Structure formats: structure tokens, C-alpha cells
């Protein structure tokens, strides 16, 4: 009989970690594992992407109020394997399952981040972050780093054992990828006979994703080429970014679409995906864009550089170099014969990555 597998993350918000775990849950369910999904709060839109055979549970609390509900849940439920993420869910899982309840369960911790701006902005907690990770992660059975760069961070910066960490890239390309990419839609900016180019930027509206820098480049870019910027995602910087767009008189050239269940169809029908991030450990959306045939320009973050360094159709330029970044975008948009190597990203299929996770059980 196959193992029972529980996936655990904060919510069903459209973040990278949540999407990865949803993709993996679908893979395990499709391959006849007893599959469940636990969230702290049942909010967000990604639950619509889960297979109907996946059982959903909620602690009905925010992450930092989920300690006692988590104890209650895991006292009553006994999965064979828990696959969880991101880091604070990992810490909670170790604390409750391994240290308090002392369950004999295989605990697989997936780690998706560096010690970046999001952590540094947390009052006091950032001072103990690495010590917390080092202590709690040692009690996990397997630590999955989503790139070699993340593994190096965990070994060199956090101080974890190299032997306990496995590098497994994120599962991105699902079996229904083409259906999602070609899903019909109507949107005023995506008309067939448009006389402008569409730049799309997908991700949480946050300091680390650096949409601010991209918006500030738009006035200069508009002097060079007719274009629109579509921002897909939501987050704590939304109001600030909307005010910035208004102050720069860009309301007709920059559009906020919020979180949507299928951004892939918009990526496919855009002319260029732009990733201005200050830090990326992997970037699901970059892989999706290449697979959909849309070129990518990204800041040279460690994660994207690692996974797409040799991929035709992916370009790197520092957004700190304003002139070079604008020139590179203009060059890409004015080129008629850019080859995008869609086959390059087949190795990130959910089936292939899912089989690697199965081998850990």
C-alpha cells in the first residue's frame, strides 16, 4: 500500500511555494497516493487547481497563531509523510510533529528562499533567523533546496549539513499546461491588432520583487517604444505602487490585474516577461514564460541565472543599469525572430519532478 502524504503551507494564495506544493499534491493524488493538503488559512485561489481527490484541511488561523491548532490537528491525524514549506511552516512542523508530539513520520522540508529583504524587515526575528533554521531544520528528515544556490545558502550561511540537503528543482509544467496557456479570454489590452507591445510582470507586489524600479523605467521606455505594462499579482506594496503610477502619469500605460487563477494565458499573449526582482531562488513564472514561447528578461538573480542561464529566449540585465535595461527591452521588442527554446524547460515537468519526490518516501 502506498504512503499517505500530507502537504502543508500557509494558504492557497498564488505564491510560488503554494503553487509548487499544489502541483506536487496533484501528482501524488494522480499516482494513487492518499493525499491531503493542510493550510493555516483557507484563503486564496489555488485550491481551485487541486485535484478533487485531495482532501483539504484548515487550521483556521494565521500562521503565527497556528501553534495550538497544529498540535490538535496532528494529534488526530497520522500521515506517513509530510511535505511542507516555506521556512516558518517548516519550523512549525518540526516543533509540533517532531519535538512535541514525537511522531514517527517522514518530514520533508522544502526551502525556497535566501536571507533576503523580507526576512531583514521582520522586527527582532531577523536577528535569530539563521539560528532558528539551524536548530529546527536539523530535526527534519530531508531538506529540499529548490536550487543549488539555495543549498549553498543553507550550508554556508545557515550552517546545515551538506548531506541532509537534496537539490530538487520546482515542478512547473503540468499536464494541462497547453490547455491553460491557450485558454480563451477577452481583455481590452490584448486585442489582436494592437499597435503596442505588452510587457508582463507576474509576482507578489513587494520590495523584493522590485516592481517599483520597473515602473520608474516606464517613462523612459515609452519614449523609445509604444508599450503597456501589465502587473499580475497582489501584495503589501500595491497601494504604494498604484500611487507611484498615478504620480508618474502612467495610469493608461500600467495596469494592475491583481491575483488571477490563470496568469499563464496572459503571459503567452504578451511580448515579453520582465523580472526585475532583487532576489529569486528559482522563478516559476520564468520557466512558464519560456514554455509558453514568450521571451524573458530578468535581473541576474542567482536562481534564474542557474536554471535558465543557457536557455535561448532568456536575457539577463541589471535593472540598476537604467540605460542598458531599457536598451535591452527595446532590442528584444524590436526583434522579429527571437527564438525561445520551449523544450529547454521540459525537465521542470511535474511528472519528472514528482517522481524524484516519490523516491524520497
What's the order of all strands across the beta sheet hosting 272-275? 254-258, 227-232, 197-202, 272-275, 296-298, 314-316
DSSP states along 215-248: HHHHHHHHHHS-EEEEEEB--TTHHHHHHHHHHT
Which cell goes with 288? 512558464
pLDDT band at 120 (very low <50, low <70, confident <90, very high): low
Residue 119 has pLDDT above 80, yes or no: no
Q: Do domains 4-168 and 177-347 have the same CATH topology?
A: yes
Degrees, nearest 5: CA angle 222-228-231: 125
Q: According to the model, what pLDDT value does residue 191 have?
A: 86
Query: Mean pLDDT for the chain?
Result: 94
Residue 337 has pLDDT above 90, yes or no: no
d(CA 196, CA 182): 21
CATH topology of domain 177-347: Rossmann fold (3.40.50)
pLDDT band at 127 (very low <50, low <70, confident <90, very high): low
Task: Classify each residue of 277-310 as buried b or exposed e, where b means 16 or more C-beta atoms within 10 Å of its C-beta.
Answer: bbbbbbbbbbbbbbbbebbbbbbebbbbbbbbee
Q: What is the pLDDT of residues 153-201, one digit of tens each?
A: 999 989 999 999 999 999 999 999 999 999 999 899 998 889 999 999 9
Q: According to the model, what pLDDT value does residue 123 have?
A: 60
Q: How many CA atoms lie within 13 A of 92 on its CB side?
A: 26
Select the CATH number that applies to the domain covering 4-168 from these four: 1.10.3720.10, 3.40.50.1440, 3.40.50.2000, 3.30.70.2190: 3.40.50.2000
| Residue 20 near residue 284, CB atoms below 8 Å | yes
| Residue 36 near residue 18, CB atoms below 8 Å | no
Q: Residue 272, SS3?
A: strand
Q: According to the model, what pLDDT value does residue 170 have?
A: 97
pLDDT band at 1 (very low <50, low <70, confident <90, very high): confident
Q: What is the pLDDT of residues 243-268, one digit of tens each?
A: 999 999 999 999 999 999 899 999 99
Strand duo 55-58 + 34-39: pairing: parallel
d(CA 244, CA 340): 33
Residue 31 has pLDDT above 90, yes or no: yes
Which cell goes with 309? 542561464
Residue found by looking up cell 522586527 in the block = 123
d(CA 347, CA 169): 9
| Residue 97 near residue 142, CB atoms below 8 Å | no
| Residue 205 near residue 232, CB atoms below 8 Å | no
| Residue 102 near residue 139, CB atoms below 8 Å | no
Domain locations along the chain: 4-168, 177-347
Strand duo 4-9 + 81-84: pairing: parallel
Q: Which residue has better confidence, 164 or 122? A: 164
Q: Which residue has better confidence, 302 or 125? A: 302
Q: Which residues contact 142 (CB under 8 A, 6 or more apart)?
A: 106, 107, 108, 109, 164, 166, 360
pLDDT cut 90: percent of the chain above it: 86
| Residue 290 near residue 314, CB atoms below 8 Å | yes
Residue 118 has pLDDT above 60, yes or no: no
Residue 116 has pLDDT above 70, yes or no: no
- For residue 75, the tally of other CB atoms under 10 A from its CB is 12
From its phi and psi, is residue 235 left (phi > 0), alpha (psi between -120 and 50) or beta?
A: left
| Residue 60 near residue 66, CB atoms below 8 Å | no
Q: What is the pLDDT of residues 78-105, one digit of tens each?
A: 999 999 999 999 999 999 999 999 999 9
Residue found by looking up cell 528578461 in the block = 297
Q: What is the pLDDT of residues 60-78, one digit of tens each?
A: 999 989 999 999 999 999 9
Which cell goes with 112? 525556497
- Helix axes of 238-247 and 211-224: crossing angle, nearest 10 degrees: 30
Residue 329 has pLDDT above 60, yes or no: yes
Q: According to the model, what pLDDT value does residue 261 have?
A: 87
d(CA 314, CA 52): 36
* End-to-end alpha carbon distance in the chain: 13
Q: What is the pLDDT of residues 312-328, one digit of tens each?
A: 999 999 999 889 999 99
Of 346, 330, 282, nearest to 144 by C-alpha is 282
Amino acid at each position: 500500500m502506498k504512503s499517505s502524504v500530507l502537504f502543508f503551507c500557509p494558504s492557497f494564495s498564488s505564491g510560488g511555494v503554494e503553487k509548487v506544493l499544489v502541483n506536487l499534491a496533484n501528482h501524488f493524488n494522480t499516482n494513487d497516493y492518499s493525499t491531503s493538503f493542510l493550510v493555516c488559512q483557507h484563503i486564496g485561489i489555488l485550491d481551485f487547481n487541486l485535484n478533487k481527490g485531495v482532501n483539504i484541511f484548515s487550521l483556521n488561523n494565521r500562521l503565527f497563531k497556528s501553534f495550538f491548532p497544529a498540535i490538535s490537528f496532528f494529534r488526530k491525524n497520522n500521515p506517513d509523510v509530510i511535505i511542507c514549506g516555506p521556512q516558518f511552516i517548516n519550523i512549525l512542523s518540526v516543533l509540533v510533529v517532531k519535538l512535541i508530539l514525537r511522531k514517527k513520520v517522514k518530514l520533508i522540508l522544502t526551502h525556497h528562499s535566501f536571507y533576503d529583504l523580507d526576512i531583514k524587515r521582520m522586527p527582532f526575528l531577523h536577528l535569530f533567523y539563521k539560528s532558528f533554521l539551524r536548530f529546527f531544520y536539523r530535526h527534519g528528515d530531508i531538506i529540499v533546496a529548490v536550487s543549488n544556490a539555495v543549498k549553498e545558502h543553507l550550508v554556508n550561511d545557515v550552517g546545515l549539513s551538506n548531506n541532509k540537503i537534496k537539490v530538487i528543482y520546482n515542478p512547473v509544467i503540468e499536464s494541462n499546461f497547453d490547455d491553460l496557456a491557450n485558454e480563451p479570454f477577452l481583455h481590452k489590452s490584448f486585442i489582436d491588432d494592437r499597435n503596442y507591445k505588452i510587457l508582463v510582470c507576474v509576482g507578489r507586489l513587494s520590495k523584493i520583487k522590485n516592481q517599483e524600479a520597473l515602473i520608474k523605467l516606464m517613462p523612459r521606455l515609452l519614449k523609445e517604444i509604444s508599450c503597456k505594462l501589465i502587473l499580475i499579482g497582489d501584495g503589501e506594496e500595491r497601494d504604494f505602487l498604484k500611487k507611484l503610477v498615478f504620480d508618474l502619469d502612467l495610469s493608461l500605460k500600467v495596469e494592475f490585474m491583481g491575483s488571477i487563477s490563470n496568469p499563464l494565458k496572459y503571459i503567452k499573449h504578451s511580448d515579453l516577461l520582465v523580472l526585475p526582482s532583487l532576489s529569486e531562488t528559482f522563478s516559476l513564472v520564468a520557466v512558464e514564460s519560456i514554455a509558453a514561447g514568450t521571451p524573458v528578461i530578468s535581473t541576474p538573480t542567482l536562481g534564474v541565472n542557474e536554471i535558465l542561464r543557457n536557455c535561448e529566449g532568456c536575457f539577463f540585465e541589471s535593472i540598476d543599469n537604467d540605460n542598458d535595461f531599457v536598451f535591452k527591452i527595446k532590442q528584444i521588442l524590436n526583434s522579429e525572430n527571437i527564438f525561445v527554446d520551449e523544450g529547454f524547460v521540459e525537465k521542470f515537468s511535474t511528472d519528472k519532478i514528482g517522481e524524484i519526490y516519490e523516491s524520497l518516501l
